[in-house]
Amino acid sequence: MPIPNPPFWATAIAALVADQVTKYLAIAYLRDAPSLPLWSEVFHLTYATNDGAAFSFFTGQVDLLKWVSFWVSVILIVVGLRYKKWRTIEQIGYGFILGGALGNGIDRFAYGYVVDFLHFKLIRFPIFNVADVSINLGLGCLILCLWWEHKQR
């Protein structure tokens, strides 16, 4: 029997691999280096750690956040294996969320913090990582689904 929701699994695996590879490179090349400007004063690669959630919410709540990442991942894996009525865009959206949750969850269990390195200095945005991008892309896909569904009614 084939595994249901192939776009879900492909997206989750791609997002997780991209996240973990880029974090490995950030640790290897950015941890002891100054901020690396790719576009001066606009976009830099800057090594940082975050023991909180997005925008440093829940700072110091490592145990809570690692278990939230774990359970979100478990629930999405179970639903991805059992639910067969997702549209492709929903599969991709949930896959991005799973990949991001797994990526940040791995960091929280392994290090007690999340490795961040993407730094938009122009707008003073908090430093973030590929897992964060994946989660936001996933949420964007799901919002698009809701919008399309609402528009069709």
Could you tell me the pLDDT band of residue 61, with boundaries at 50, 70 and 90?
Answer: low
CB atoms within 10 A of CB 137: 19
In a domain, 121, yes or no: yes
Positions marked catalytic: 116, 132
Among 120, 145, 137, 132, CA closest to 40:
120
Q: Structural domain of residue 44, as residue ranges?
A: 6-152
pLDDT beyond 60 at 55: no
Q: Phi-psi region for residue 83, left (φ > 0), alpha (ψ -120 to 50) or beta?
A: beta
| Number of alpha carbons in the 13 Å side-chain half-sphere of residue 103 | 30
Please tell me the pTM assigned to this model: 0.90
Q: What is the number of domains present in the chain? A: 1
Is the pLDDT at 54 greater than 80? The verdict is no
The fraction of the chain above a pLDDT of 70, given in percent, is 93
Q: How far apart are CA 9 and CA 94, in angstroms?
A: 9
1 inside domain: no
- 61 part of a folded domain: yes
